[in-house]
Structure 1
């Protein structure tokens, strides 16, 4: 009897030891991945920071962070008051265009979105990039404020009580390489960094004393992009994009930030065209063929509360007459009909844009970001939306100076055009891409797959709730996306046309492994996705194990170095 009890005790102890050893090993892998990824990010940031300091010995992260916080308050107050005069000197043409058109949409809707009692609760520099075209800083800013809506009509009134809201946004600032940090006030402080004069800017954003185009990044940091937390993912400017390296051989100054700022301006001009049911806002930025197409299309609606989430170049191509740049835009907004119908719930949309420029035309980086200024003389485009410069008579819409819009179509139409009616949702050879897809896109695609049977059941909803909680995505974002799917307003489809179901699954796994492990709820959600495309559980487990081991090896190597 005694030997049998002794054997059982040894067996239990052995099994317990194996289980505890496995738990320890898993915890070790998780911690190694998390520490390795954190160190890798800090190491990359330090390398880029040293590149900037090599050209600007006085560059200080503490100083620029303090200036960015000050700029944040100025920008929010300007937006709330619908008056950009205090901030125009340090925001790009794209952001200025976005705000001005947002103001017009609000005025059409007889309301005004305001910001009150704002306070910054946290700010940090989370990304640095430096190349031959631009130096770029990414700041994460968390703030709390009231966001009342002032209703305009016979009697001006404001919502009596709106709860205090916490928001996290990512602000991207750029400047040209070699620009020096000043100890004296600059653009954010309302002073021309070129001559020191106090700025009193008009639409031309030129210093009245030295005539410098100050909002281009040529003299100081300027705000180039604002991204909401749910859409944010750090995307290194050196990410491999089909055709870019070949194109830069013949056009060395071609760069992604300039294109994306230009397209941001085009996107907001499109919103204005939908608002007024007229193609006039597009006349300076679109080819005549697209103007004709737009005039033939129905414009029975426009959008309010628009947020541009992602603007990403996907391909650059040479052409006989025109070169082409293809981009993917993902955005959200409330669709409103011109008949005065109550705004629909928030919809999520994806569009494919094609920009063209005459073959042989070269990019001009010396002036920085100048998306809505004449390449010939530097003058601003007119508020009257002319097709030519009022000062030097250069034509804007021929592609002889800058990239112009050739096509703007829903992303699903682009996929159908590229692949026919079959979306290639199977495991086939794919073009490799190192781009990082934003969580809203992946979440939207996942919901569309789960919604294929017309509904998201309670179990799937519970798994999605846990998924967004672990990914630190706001619950309201998930609820809005599900509502958009139910109302047929979720036009995102898949995160990118180069991702099939197999690649998409790998992206979801990588997203889940951001904290070093896939929890039980996330694993069940991956299984749900796999069932839709006949992936076996063993295949999903192998993919998770393979990716986790890859991240572990990379993290160990990073920690050793």
Structure 2
């Protein structure tokens, strides 16, 4: 069969196991953090992992708020909002960590990032009262994820994982730290990375290796880090965290048809564009998560006195229609992955803010903000959605819109990635294999003969089955999303490969048929 091209991101999902002293970035990290103890750090990661699974099942983040970033807090909060609308709960038990190791360290402005690979399993039961089709029986589920922790360089001596005291003033932290993570006594933002490691991202195995294949962007990362270093209150990772936070609040505003949820941090242009896209029907997202948030372009506008950062957000979700009678009807036959690009801007030489707009804090005076259509702080009168004190979402573009924008604006960008690169990280066979896995698991079971069929198909398409093990794990647990490139020729090839695979057993199930028809109308017409 046809061989895989070198650029395939899925070709090897099993990353090499190395002792911490040999992982990428360790030497410079240790130079900046001479007192680092791998054992203490991984102890914190284990604590975070177990407490976060329990918080997720309880839909209550109070026990973990102090060591998760604002963006991670928002990811969970958005998922809880959708689950409550669909009357869903996810019961987890028997949480076991099988293996945990540091995969690499990265420098990000004044911060350090540690990426940790976690192999774990748990009993996982999903219950949905508005549509039993979303129920899952709750067997033992094994999975591999990558958790990224961020901390201000050189900071040590605090342990926010075993203590519920403010790391700045030692006062007891309240049960509800809310979306700002702010101590009510001294005003410190305890989850800012200024005191201890903070969880800033959770990534599935398929998305993490795709990020690895993104090596070409080193120059851009460097330039973005230099541009963002002008502002002492942010780094590339922390700006991407703001982007994911704002993006999910926009999605929540869209579902609830409540523009006040996002008004304070979007430009007038973005506000009208998003508000005009509100649907007349009650559409809710089932199983919503962010796969990846990556900076793909930067530019400085001299005449506006502004810096712009373009951030690609990949989201996976399944749209569901909530009927008057309280029943949920499926719109998308499967979970679908989609990319949108945020254009975020801030004035050059802008001083550090007194808090984040995205966490309902006025960056000018530090007061707590309510959701409102009024863009002025009710305390100090500052115009909130101005790029004077904070990064503002100027525009939100579909991937196709960004490609068009890029064609005319690329010459004005200081450093950028051709958006085509996101398409090219996956070979046609990568897309097809991912999507066929979803077809095969569409009836809710991934039986032994289906596993065997997929292994044969993968071999025939030039994959090493051992090296794509995590993909099978994701398929079994329903954590894969349909993916498609922008390129129409590639799309046709992918749908054709999907059809062939579905017809291989001479029996195309209704679920498989629904997905194929959806792909044809959604992507080929």
- The reply to whether TM is greater than 0.5 is yes
Separation in structure 1 between the aligned mates of residue 99 and residue 388 of structure 2, nearest angstrom: 45
Separation in structure 2 between the aligned mates of residue 255 and residue 232 of structure 1, nearest angstrom: 20
Compare the two structures and name the one with the higher helix fraction: 1
Give CA-to-partner distance per residue, 1:72-108, whole Å, 9 cap, x none. Answer: 1111111110111111111111111111111110111
1:491: Cα distance to partner?
4.3
**1:327-342 matched pairs, under 5 angstroms:** 327-339=311-323, 340-342=328-330
Partner residue, 1:401: 389
**Is 1:221–2:197 an aligned residue pair?**
yes
Separation in structure 2 between the aligned mates of residue 35 and residue 327 of structure 1, nearest angstrom: 26
> Residues 392, 76 of structure 1: CA spacing in aligned structure 2 closer, same or farther, 3 A cutoff?
farther
- Superposed CA RMSD in Å reads 4.3
> Residues 275, 135 of structure 1: CA spacing in aligned structure 2 closer, same or farther, 3 A cutoff?
same
Partner residue, 2:472: 475
Partner residue, 2:171: 197
Separation in structure 2 between the aligned mates of residue 377 and residue 81 of structure 1, nearest angstrom: 35
Partner residue, 1:18: none
1:257: Cα distance to partner?
1.2
For the residue of structure 2 that corresponds to 1:261, the secondary structure is helix
> Residues 417, 169 of structure 1: CA spacing in aligned structure 2 closer, same or farther, 3 A cutoff?
same
Which of 346, 362, 365 is matched with 2:335 structurally?
346
1:438: Cα distance to partner?
9.1
**Is 1:317–2:296 an aligned residue pair?**
no
Partner residue, 1:361: 350
Separation in structure 2 between the aligned mates of residue 271 and residue 432 of structure 1, nearest angstrom: 26
For the residue of structure 1 that corresponds to 2:31, the secondary structure is helix
Which of 119, 138, 144 is matched with 1:168 structurally?
144
Separation in structure 2 between the aligned mates of residue 107 and residue 297 of structure 1, nearest angstrom: 23
For the residue of structure 1 that corresponds to 2:401, the secondary structure is helix
Separation in structure 1 between the aligned mates of residue 125 and residue 33 of structure 2, nearest angstrom: 43
User: How many pairs are equivalent?
Assistant: 437
Give CA-to-partner distance per residue, 1:51-87, whole Å, 9 cap, x none. Answer: 2324xx3x21110111110111111111110111111
Give CA-to-partner distance per residue, 1:143-196, whole Å, 9 cap, x none. Answer: 111221234479x9x9694210012111111121231234xx435532222233
Give CA-to-partner distance per residue, 1:355-401, whole Å, 9 cap, x none. Answer: 1223442556x989986533224445435686344544433212221
1:307: Cα distance to partner?
1.6
**Is 1:116–2:93 an aligned residue pair?**
yes
**Is 1:77–2:54 an aligned residue pair?**
yes
Separation in structure 2 between the aligned mates of residue 440 and residue 307 of structure 1, nearest angstrom: 22
**Is 1:64–2:41 an aligned residue pair?**
yes
> Residues 174, 471 of structure 1: CA spacing in aligned structure 2 closer, same or farther, 3 A cutoff?
same
Separation in structure 1 between the aligned mates of residue 480 and residue 200 of structure 2, nearest angstrom: 31
Partner residue, 1:30: none
**If the length of structure 2 is used for normalisation, what is the TM-score?**
0.71
**Is 1:241–2:189 an aligned residue pair?**
no
Partner residue, 1:410: 398
> Residues 194, 433 of structure 1: CA spacing in aligned structure 2 closer, same or farther, 3 A cutoff?
same
Separation in structure 1 between the aligned mates of residue 16 and residue 77 of structure 2, nearest angstrom: 44
> Residues 168, 410 of structure 1: CA spacing in aligned structure 2 closer, same or farther, 3 A cutoff?
same
Q: Is there any run of 5+ residues in structure 1 with no aligned partner, and where?
A: 1-33, 421-430, 495-499, 502-561
For the residue of structure 1 that corresponds to 2:45, the secondary structure is helix
Partner residue, 1:267: 247
For the residue of structure 1 that corresponds to 2:156, the secondary structure is coil
